[in-house]
Structure 1
Amino acid sequence: MERQTVHLAVYDTMADWEYGYAIAHIQSPEFQKVPGCYEVKTVGATLAPVTTKGGVRIVPDITLAQLVPESSALLILPGADSAATGGIADFAEMAARFLAAEKPVAAICGATAALAQQGLLDKRAHTSNAPEFLAMTGYQGSSRYVDQPAITDGNVITASGVAPIAFAAEIFRILDLYDESTLDAWWQLFAKQDPAGFYALMQDQEQAQEQAQ
């Protein structure tokens, strides 16, 4: 089996909490339909280290110039201090290339504003931190705004910056990472903090192991 690559955009002041649930579980084979089918690689404007909002230093695996949409399973765009004011415009331009190649893009918090500035949300149902947050971009898609934590329309996932769990769940769906029952159990555990979700995950894993024997 050839592993597919999910690309995580990295830039200074990126919000650590917004992408953590998604990439941690993409990288963890437990409970996945096809364990280990994806890997995560980071993409920077250059190969120079970036520093996250939490002070974590990340050295990108590749540069934007090296990224080929057709070779990727998904591009994840976290928010950052300058994301809503043009600071990640080059990454939003790459997002447009991904969509032109019919490859999915997932944006959260300020990164949704970057997509709006590119006109990528004008004709798609989407969400963000608030309608007013996107209105400041001058985009034409306000009538398509949906007031919920995260949403997927076609190949575009958008989410509020305070909804990293819902963001991750939408990413798992678009990657077809889990069976629906497994995703329901994951949601029960992480979104609802219900321990019953953990036992449901364990049961799903046992059943998968039995079927594999």
Structure 2
Amino acid sequence: MFTIYLYVLDSLADWEIGYVLSELNSGRFFKKGHHQVSLKMVSDSKEPIHTMGGLKIVPDCLIDEMVVSETSMLLLPGADTWNEPKHQAIIEKASECLSLGATVCAICGATAALANAGLLDNRSHTSNGPGFLEMVSPSYKGQSFYLDQPSVVDHNLITASSTGALLWTKQIIERLGVFQSDTLAFWYDYFRTGDAQHFFALMQTLPANNES
């Protein structure tokens, strides 16, 4: 079973994690025989955090309690508070994850935190547009690896811009392998276009329908 750690911090951008949390927590479109993943909220303390939208989240565990392996995944959401020194601990853990084969998924402001630590200097990645990382991360040296796309996969690193949450989610689900490939394709097309034909096609790929 995959263990998914979501790092929670004050001012977390709710919308950036909406798709991925909903699908991984509910498991509603998981392929037959695949059990739900273990989803844990991790932070630097057990104190509640407050998202940008005003939601209160109580962390499940501390950074030191994380168990990292190839079946671990760390989600780093955007937030306005990434420049606070206390978040250095999770960036160090992200570096450990990448080294051990665990997957790190960063979106929006979290990409700047990775850039500050030099973790994007030699990996294909994206962020909030060309020039953004240079502006907010003085030590960034990964310009030649930057791709101006909504979300980018480089082995066990998945990065996205603030508007790339849907594709980011698709790539995360693909990495986990919890959807059938056709289910994922129709899921993405439906939410990308709003065309109802993709929704009905999606429903036809689900195990209950395949068994009938």
Under a length normalisation based on structure 2, what TM-score does the superposition of the two structures give?
Answer: 0.92
| Unaligned ranges ≥5, structure 2 | none
- Pick closer, same or farther for the CA change 1:87–1:142 going to 2, 3 Å: farther
In 2: Cα distance, 1:19 partner to 1:69 partner: 21
**Residue 6 of structure 2 is aligned with which of 5, 8, 22?**
8
Name the structure 2 match of 1:110.
109
In 2: Cα distance, 1:158 partner to 1:31 partner: 23
- CA drift of 1:31 comes to 2.2
Name the structure 2 match of 1:190.
191
Deviates more, 1:144-153 or 1:32-41: 32-41
Name the structure 1 match of 2:90.
91
In 2: Cα distance, 1:131 partner to 1:210 partner: 44
In 1: Cα distance, 2:210 partner to 2:203 partner: 14
* Number of residue pairs the alignment of both structures matches: 209
Amino acid at match of 2:158: I
Name the structure 2 match of 1:39.
38
Name the structure 2 match of 1:67.
66
In 2: Cα distance, 1:211 partner to 1:14 partner: 39
In 1: Cα distance, 2:204 partner to 2:209 partner: 11
- CA drift of 1:135 comes to 1.1
- Pick closer, same or farther for the CA change 1:71–1:187 going to 2, 3 Å: closer
Deviates more, 1:29-38 or 1:131-140: 29-38
Matches within 5 A, 1:15-54: 15-33=13-31, 34-54=33-53
In 1: Cα distance, 2:99 partner to 2:7 partner: 18
- CA drift of 1:85 comes to 6.4
In 2: Cα distance, 1:87 partner to 1:196 partner: 47
Amino acid at match of 1:155: N
Matches within 5 A, 1:138-149: 138-149=139-150
The answer (yes or no) to whether the contact 2:3–2:37 under 8 Å persists in 1 is yes
Q: Aligned-pair RMSD on alpha carbons?
A: 1.8
Name the structure 2 match of 1:178.
179
- CA drift of 1:129 comes to 0.3
Amino acid at match of 2:73: L
The answer (yes or no) to whether the contact 1:5–1:71 under 8 Å persists in 2 is no
Q: Does 1:163 align with 2:161?
A: no
Amino acid at match of 1:130: G
Partner SS state of residue 76, structure 1: strand
Deviation readout 1:7-51 (Å, 9 max, x if unpaired): 100010010001110011011222212443313110010111111
- Pick closer, same or farther for the CA change 1:87–1:109 going to 2, 3 Å: farther
Amino acid at match of 1:168: T
Amino acid at match of 1:29: G
- CA drift of 1:62 comes to 0.2
The answer (yes or no) to whether the contact 1:188–1:196 under 8 Å persists in 2 is no
